[in-house]
Amino acid sequence: MTRSTRGLICVSVLVTEVTAISPMVAPLSDLIDVIEIRMDGLRTPLTADGIVDLGKPVLVTNRPTWEGGLFAGKEEDRIARLNQAMELGVGYVDIELQTALQWRAALCAKAKKTGTQVVISHHDFQGTPSGEQLSIILQQMITSGADIGKIVTTAVTPLDTLRVLDLQHEARAAGFPLSAFCMGAIGAISRFASVYLGGYMTYVAPSPEQATAPGQITAQDMHLLTSFLQAA
Binding residues for 3-dehydroquinate: 12, 36-38, 63, 191, 212, 216
Active-site residue (options: 113, 150, 169, 223): 150
Strands 148-154 and 178-183, bridge-based pairing: parallel
Annotated binding site: 12, 36-38, 63, 191, 212, 216
Whole-number Å distance between alpha carbons of 121 and 96: 5
The partner residues of 150 in beta bridges, in order of sequence, read: 121, 179
| Annotated catalytic residue within 74, 110, 113, 123 | 123
* Amino acid type, 215: G
Residue 150 annotated to the active site: yes
The string of DSSP codes covering 177-197 is -EEEEEESTTTHHHHHHGGGT
Q: Which amino acid is at 65?
A: T
Backbone angles phi, psi at 37, to 5 degrees: -105, 120
Q: Catalytic residue positions?
A: 123, 150
